[in-house]
């Protein structure tokens, strides 16, 4: 008699805060949330069978309502790994945005040139690779380099989601990337280890590269304390000091895989004037930088 095959369901994510507050900070016109997700609804946009987690439904209508509360006009929708390489959920949202949304897709080497062109025509401007352990670990590097070369003619960038310590291992690869690249969530560097920790020093060195962009978001992921996550502020400030023209900010709504402190997105918006205290700095972080990378004005 054969042993029964054991199956386990992927863990369920916490739902986002159902009562986002209106922030005190008023973002400038055309401010962009440069890192956020749309999840389902699963009945319309099914999640991938091999996903590592199951999020709650957090669809376009809920997303639009949040953006109105926060005072953010533009958005970059990053297709999360729970949707696999089916990018329909972000393409449909972009198509309904009147040019206010762009996308970052999940792709693999099965995509044809026509597939890439359709994504580009639909408003996608980059693709993402997860290197973090809880989402599967290191990408297939042969496939990674192949895809980089294929998206290069489209003018795309690649988004890299690292664990902090892996910045050291992949430094040589980062130095040689022939396309613009973004490091998510400040490399997930834990604030508890201080500004002098080696992974953060490496992040600042990489940030000096002309093709490197850093997202100064994910405060709720790296902070050593709960809300309002202010221990992340000096880290974001240090990144902006190194690369003021190549930094982006986002909410990461609806905050997949948060284990402890689910943020209120109004609190995250109110970190912006701490991270970028001047009007000029806020304009760069929220409007000019994302516009230059994603071409909202074209």
Please report the pLDDT score of residue 1 as a whole number.
37
> Which tokens hold the place of 203?
């992040």
In a domain, 155, yes or no: yes
CATH number at 223 reads 3.20.20.140
Residue closest to 190 by CA, chosen among 218, 213, 209: 218
In total, the chain counts a number of residues equal to 298
In a domain, 1, yes or no: no
Number of domains in the chain: 1
| 30-59 pLDDT, tens digit each | 999 999 999 999 999 999 999 999 999 999
Residue 16 confidence (pLDDT) above 60: yes
Please report the pLDDT score of residue 229 as a whole number.
97
pLDDT average, residue stretch 167-188 = 93
Does residue 132 sit in helix, strand or coil? Answer: coil
In a domain, 17, yes or no: no
pLDDT average, residue stretch 269-291 = 98
Q: Which of 73, 163, 252, 267 is flagged as catalytic?
A: 252
Please report the pLDDT score of residue 298 as a whole number.
65
Query: Using CA atoms, how far apart are residues 52 and 274, in angstroms rounded to an integer?
Result: 34
Predicted TM-score (pTM) of the model is 0.94
In a domain, 13, yes or no: no
In a domain, 143, yes or no: yes
pLDDT tier at 3, thresholds 50, 70, 90 = very low
In a domain, 113, yes or no: yes
Residue closest to 106 by CA, chosen among 131, 135, 83: 83
Residue 4 confidence (pLDDT) above 60: no
In the chain, the percentage of residues whose pLDDT exceeds 70 is 95
Instruction: Count Cα atoms within 13 angstroms, Cβ side, for 289.
Output: 26
The range of the structural domain enclosing residue 63 comes to: 32-294
Residue with tokens 């003619």: 153
In a domain, 3, yes or no: no
The burial of 117, by beta-carbon neighbours within 10 Å (0-12 exposed, 13-18 middle, 19 or more buried), is given as: exposed
In a domain, 18, yes or no: no
Please report the pLDDT score of residue 106 as a whole number.
96
252 noted as active-site residue: yes
Please report the pLDDT score of residue 165 as a whole number.
81
Residue closest to 125 by CA, chosen among 146, 148, 102: 102
Task: Let me know: does 96 contact 60? Beta carbons within 8 Å.
Answer: yes
Please report the pLDDT score of residue 136 as a whole number.
59
To the nearest whole number, what is the mean pLDDT of the chain? 93
């Amino acid at each position: 008699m054969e042993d029964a095959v054991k199956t386990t369901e992927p863990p369920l994510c916490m739902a986002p805060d159902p009562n986002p507050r209106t922030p005190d900070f008023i973002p400038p016109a055309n401010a962009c949330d440069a890192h956020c997700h749309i999840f389902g609804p699963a009945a319309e946009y099914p999640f991938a069978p091999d996903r590592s987690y199951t999020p709650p439904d957090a669809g376009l209508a809920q997303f639009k309502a949040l953006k109105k509360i926060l005072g953010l006009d533009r958005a970059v929708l990053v297709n999360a790994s729970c949707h696999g390489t089916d990018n329909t959920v972000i393409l449909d949202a972009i198509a309904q945005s009147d040019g206010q949304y762009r996308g970052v897709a999940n792709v693999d080497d099965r995509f044809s040139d026509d597939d890439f062109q359709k994504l580009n025509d639909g408003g996608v401007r980059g693709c993402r690779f997860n290197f973090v352990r809880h989402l599967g670990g290191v990408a297939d590097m042969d496939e990674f380099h192949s895809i980089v070369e294929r998206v290069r003619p489209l003018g795309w960038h690649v988004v890299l989601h690292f664990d902090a310590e892996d910045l050291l291992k992949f430094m040589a690869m980062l130095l040689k990337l022939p396309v613009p690249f973004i490091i998510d969530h400040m490399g997930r560097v834990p604030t508890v280890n201080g500004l002098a920790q080696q992974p953060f020093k490496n992040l600042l060195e990489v940030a000096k590269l002309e093709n490197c962009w850093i997202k100064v978001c994910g405060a709720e992921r790296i902070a050593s304390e709960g809300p309002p996550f202010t221990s992340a502020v000096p880290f974001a400030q240090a990144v902006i000091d190194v690369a003021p023209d190549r930094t982006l900010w986002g909410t990461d709504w609806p905050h997949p895989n948060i284990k402890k402190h689910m943020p209120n997105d109004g609190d995250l918006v109110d970190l912006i004037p701490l991270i970028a205290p001047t009007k000029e700095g806020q304009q760069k972080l929220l409007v000019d930088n994302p516009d230059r990378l994603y071409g909202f004005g074209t």
